[in-house]
């Protein structure tokens, strides 16, 4: 059945793939974005589709539309961008969630929140499962994002408990792929762009901190599958690839794949940069029968190909 689906942050990296996949599945898609970190070029190939509508709007302002489902992705995801205007980042997560939950309540739509592994902060438990409550510094440089997303989770669960809004909280771990901005500031795009230009690759700290990287196609499949679960399943649900790598390993891998002449140099570690991160995805395996299928080497090759084509 054709559904009307609102995707906030739809012109961003993940949002653009989500819009595309929802259209491929025969739905009508409303893509809402204020173009802070998103770009028209991410969705330009969708503009001719009569079932796709692009709306310039900021989620911190109320918005009304008739829809069956809402994916709430609006929020800058790169530490560089979410720290540019921290108050706005908090407003986007908190006021954006209030506005979208209010809309969902009014039109009786199902709503999915793009939450994040950042709710675990600099975790003391490893790998992180959904029952761990995290270790977040509420006044640190990353707090505007982490606490904004934590507050959003709280809003979502309370709209469910108090108002029976059909909610899904998805905790997304680091995801990468083609269509990330060349100046996005996150590690995979930074390293690939530097490697392709044979410029120094800047590793923050000693590079022993770890992350686990999920390819975008796997992520989008998981998101849609979670939205399709019965109404009593609210999450939070971790989703990501659990293969863990140190940042220095990532730098070396990217140099090898690109055949780059780049040197690795070391810069200071930003405040509160999590030292370890890897998702426990047993719940995702059970609830949505989901497992990432694209390993890092394959995903990086696709991503390198993309950046070669745009640089
Ligand atoms: P992105 O920065 O490419 O996309 C975010 C989109 O939201 C952009 O198009 C931006 O213009 C838009 N936006 C920002 N503020 C807005 C506002 N106030 N009103 C309307 N639109 C606004 O980042 P992404 O990687 O595609 O992330 C999408 C979502 O997934 C974010 O909510 C992010 O927190 C979450 N997430 C992503 C990752 C990841 O690794 N990619 C990890 C965890 C969580
Ligand atoms: N990082 C790095 N060099 C860069 C960008 C990031 O060493 O040019 C490190 C960063 O300090 C962090 C990891 O890579 O430890 C992942 O950073 P990213 O900004 O991609 O995401 P997040 O920290 O939010 O997971």
| Intervals of the chain under pLDDT 70 | none
Q: Please, are residues 48 and 90 in contact by the beta-carbon 8 Å criterion?
A: no
* Probe residue for ligand 2, chosen from 244, 247, 267, 271 as the CB with the greatest number of ligand atoms within 8 Å: 247
Q: Is 120 designated active site?
A: no
pLDDT, tens digit, 9 for 90 and up, residues 12-39: 999 999 999 999 999 999 999 999 999 9
DSSP strands (E only) in the chain: 4-8, 28-33, 52-56, 69-72, 110-116, 167-172, 175-176, 201-204, 210-212, 214-215, 237-239, 244-246, 264-267
Q: Residue 208 contacts by C-beta under 8 Å, 6 or more apart in sequence? A: 246, 247, 248, 275
The ligand with the least distance to the CA atom of 99 is 1
- 210-212 and 244-246 beta bridge pairing: antiparallel
Q: What angle do CA 91, 9, 216 make, to 5 degrees?
A: 125
- Which of the following is catalytic: 17, 120, 145, 215? 145
Atom 13 of ligand 2, nearest CA residue: 187
Residue 1 has what pLDDT? 87
Ligand 1 is surrounded, with C-beta below 6 A, by 8-9, 11-15, 33-38, 58-60, 73-77, 92, 96, 114, 116, 172, 174-175
Distance CA(234)–CA(303), nearest Å, equals: 32
Is-above-0.95 flag for pTM? yes
- pLDDT, residue 171, reads 98
Predicted pLDDT at 240: 98
Alpha-carbon distance 201 to 258, whole Å?
13
Nearest CA to ligand 1 atom 4: 12
Q: Delineate the domains of the chain, giving CATH numbers in brackets.
A: 4-176+214-241+279-293 (3.40.50.720)
State how far the Cα of 112 lies from the Cα of 86, in Å rounded to an integer.
23
Tokens matching residue 261: 């002449």
Which ligand is nearest to the Cα of residue 9, counting in written order?
Answer: 1
């Amino acid at each position: 059945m054709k559904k009307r689906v609102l995707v906030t942050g739809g012109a961003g990296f993940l949002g653009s793939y989500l819009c595309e996949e929802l259209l491929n599945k025969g739905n009508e898609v409303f893509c809402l974005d204020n173009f802070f970190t998103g770009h028209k070029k991410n969705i330009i190939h969708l503009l001719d589709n009569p079932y796709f509508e692009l709306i310039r709007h900021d989620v911190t302002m109320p918005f009304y539309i008739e829809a069956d489902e809402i994916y709430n992705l609006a929020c800058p995801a790169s530490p560089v961008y979410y720290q540019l205007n921290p108050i706005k980042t908090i407003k986007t997560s908190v006021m954006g969630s209030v506005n979208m939950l209010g809309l969902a309540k009014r039109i009786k739509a199902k709503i999915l929140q793009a939450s994040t592994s950042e709710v675990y902060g600099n975790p003391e438990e490893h790998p992180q499962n959904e029952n761990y409550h995290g270790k977040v510094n509420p006044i640190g440089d990353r707090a505007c994002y982490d606490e904004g997303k934590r507050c959003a989770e709280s809003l979502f669960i309370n709209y469910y408990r108090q108002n029976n809004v059909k909610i899904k909280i998805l905790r997304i771990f680091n995801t990468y792929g083609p269509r990330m901005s060349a100046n996005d500031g996150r590690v995979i795009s930074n390293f690939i762009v530097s490697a392709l230009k044979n410029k120094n690759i800047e590793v923050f700290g000693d590079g022993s901190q770890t992350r686990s990287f999920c390819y975008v196609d796997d992520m989008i499949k998981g998101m849609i599958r979670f939205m399709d679960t019965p109404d009593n399943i609210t999450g939070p649900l971790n989703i990501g690839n659990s293969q863990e790598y140190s940042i220095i390993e990532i730098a070396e891998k990217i140099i090898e794949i690109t055949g780059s002449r780049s040197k690795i140099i070391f810069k200071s570690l930003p405040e509160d940069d999590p030292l370890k991160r890897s998702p426990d995805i047993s719940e995702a395996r059970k609830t949505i029968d989901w497992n990432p299928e694209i390993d890092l080497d394959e995903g990086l090759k696709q991503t390198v190909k993309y950046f070669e084509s745009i640089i």
